Amino acid sequence: MPLSDNERQILAQIEYDLKEDEKFAQAVSSKGLYRHSARTAWWAGIGIVVSMVLTILGLQVHFALAFGGFLAMLACALIVERQLRAMSKVGLRDVTESLRASRVNAQRMREKFTRER
């Protein structure tokens, strides 16, 4: 069933409004879709390291404290696994490309400032 002229006009207005909304465009861009999962995985990775330190230090105090640190480390590892699985291969590729791009930009800035001195 074809759209009426009024429906086409409404659809065109919605498309225009979505294109003009920069915050929305950034949220649905390839970088924005996976940013939350990448950030959560990053913080959970830091949690793994902190929990490992807590486990090692807890062994010197009491085994229950070390076991609690181990459980926290296990929980963080599960969060990392779940977030990476949610991002899938496509999301991981997008995240790695954006990281590479930021490293290239940082390298260019370093070269620019070292040449000026």
Let me know if residue 12 belongs to a domain.
Answer: no
Comparing 107 with 16, the larger pLDDT belongs to 16
Let me know if residue 23 belongs to a domain.
Answer: no
Let me know if residue 94 belongs to a domain.
Answer: yes
Comparing 117 with 21, the larger pLDDT belongs to 21
In the chain, the number of structural domains is 1
Is the pLDDT at 87 greater than 80? The verdict is no
Let me know if residue 67 belongs to a domain.
Answer: yes
Let me know if residue 43 belongs to a domain.
Answer: yes
Let me know if residue 25 belongs to a domain.
Answer: no
Let me know if residue 15 belongs to a domain.
Answer: no
Comparing 19 with 64, the larger pLDDT belongs to 64
Share of the chain above pLDDT 90, in %: 36
Chain Cα centroid distance, residue 33: 8
What sign for the dihedral angle of Cα 84, 86, 88, 93?
negative
Q: Which residue has the tokens 């790695």?
A: 96
Question: pLDDT value at position 58?
Answer: 94
Is the pLDDT at 88 greater than 90? The verdict is no
The residue segments making up the domain with residue 40 are 33-116
